[in-house]
């Protein structure tokens, strides 16, 4: 149960369970963003869930084709912002009013107006920090080891190549059937990816 949940969360980060020296999944290359888009739709229609598409740039409409909802990063941003605001409010009130009250030209020890700039700055700062850290966390990054890094054709994914990986941990995965299914969807080449373990290959 818990194991399943963890595996699902990892799958949402594009990290799939595999054993050392076992198959990680099938990597299929597609010729262009259009073909990738239609193939991703096809893979989902075909009942696969543990799969991902890889492209050098974000492809418009791909989230929909893969049946994914809105990213959760926004909630983390909101949380960071609220924290930053609360921290700035509390810090300025507590230091000015409670811990170190000092009379300057008879001004109140704490008031909202002169506190606004720092409240704003810290709100933005913690919101931005939560966004970046949250984005990396939701993506499972940094990820020093990835079985895909051992594929030579996959090196071109950050240049001009477009791939779909169907993980061998998918319930429907079957090396042969999945392979021919991907060919039907228009893959130009298919490669089996092996998990080399986190040790050097």
Partner 1 sequence: MNTANTDIAPTSDVDYHVDDPLVQGNPTFHEITELVSYHTEKKTPLAWWGAFGIASGLLMVLLVMVAYLFWNGIGVWGLNNPVGWGFAIVNFVFWVGIGHAGTLISAILFLFRQKWRTAINRSAEAMTLFAVMCALIFPTIHVGRIWAIYWTLPYPNQMAMWPQFKSPLLWDVFAVSVYFMVSIMFWYVGLIPDLATLRDRATRKLRQKVLGVMAMGWTGANRHWRNYEKAYLLLAALATPLVLSVHSVVSFDFAVSIVPGWHTTIFPPYFVAGAIFSGFAMVMTLMIVARKVFGLQNIITVNHLEKMNLIILLTGSMVGFAYITEFFIAWYSGVLYEQYAFSNRAFGPYAWAYWIMMSCNLLFPQFFWFKRLRRSVPFMFVISILVNVGMWFERFVIVVISLHRDYLPSAWDYYSPTFVDILTLLGSFGLFFTMFLLFLRFFPMVAVAEVKAILPQSDPHFYDHSGDGQLVDHDLAVSGGEASGERAEIN
Applying the rule CB under 8 A, the residues between 158 and 187 that interact with partner 1 are: 158-160, 185-186
Residues 18-47, interacting with partner 1 (CB under 8 A): 31-40
Quote the least distance from Cβ 107 to partner 1, whole Å.
6
Other C-beta atoms lying within 10 Å of the C-beta of residue 192: 13
| CA proximity to 201, closest of 13, 82, 3, 24 | 24
Q: Is 7 near partner 1 (CB under 8 A)?
A: no
Q: Which of 5, 21, 99, 199 binds partner 1 (CB under 8 A)?
A: 99
Whole-angstrom distance, CA of residue 201 vs CA of residue 195: 10
Q: Which of 56, 90, 112, 174 binds partner 1 (CB under 8 A)?
A: 56
Query: 43: which residues sit within 8 A by CB, 6+ positions away?
Result: 51, 164, 166, 181, 182, 185
Q: Is 97 near partner 1 (CB under 8 A)?
A: no
Residues 106-165, interacting with partner 1 (CB under 8 A): 107, 114-115, 117-118, 120-122, 124-125, 127-129, 131-132, 134-136, 138-139, 141-146, 148, 154-160
Whole-angstrom distance, CA of residue 201 vs CA of residue 196: 6
Closer residue to partner 1, CB minimum distance, 1 or 144: 144
Quote the least distance from Cβ 78 to partner 1, whole Å.
10
Joined together, the tokens standing for residue 176 give: 């042969």
* Helix locations, the chain, DSSP H: 2-12, 33-45, 62-65, 73-93, 112-138, 175-184
Closer residue to partner 1, CB minimum distance, 1 or 106: 106
Q: H or E stretch including 50?
A: none
Q: Which of 14, 18, 167, 178 binds partner 1 (CB under 8 A)?
A: 14
Q: Is 49 near partner 1 (CB under 8 A)?
A: no
């Amino acid at each position: 149960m818990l194991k399943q949940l963890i595996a699902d969360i990892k799958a949402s980060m594009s990290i799939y369970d595999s054993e050392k020296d076992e198959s990680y999944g099938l990597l299929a290359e597609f010729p262009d963003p259009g073909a990738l888009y239609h193939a991703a739709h096809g893979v989902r229609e075909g009942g696969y869930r543990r799969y991902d598409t890889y492209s050098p740039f974000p492809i418009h409409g791909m989230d929909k084709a893969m049946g994914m909802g809105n990213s959760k990063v926004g909630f983390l941003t909101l949380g960071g912002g609220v924290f930053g605001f609360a921290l700035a409010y509390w810090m300025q009130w507590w230091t000015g009013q409670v811990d170190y009250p000092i009379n300057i030209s008879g001004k109140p020890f704490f008031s909202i107006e002169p506190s606004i700039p720092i409240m704003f700055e810290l709100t933005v700062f913690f919101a931005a920090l939560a966004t970046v850290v949250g984005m990396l966390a939701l993506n499972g990054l940094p990820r020093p080891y990835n079985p895909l890094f051992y594929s030579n054709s996959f090196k071109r994914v950050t240049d001009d190549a477009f791939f779909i990986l169907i993980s061998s941990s998918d319930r429907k995965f079957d090396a042969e059937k999945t392979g021919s299914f991907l060919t039907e969807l228009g893959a130009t080449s298919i490669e089996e990816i092996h998990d080399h373990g986190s040790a050097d290959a």
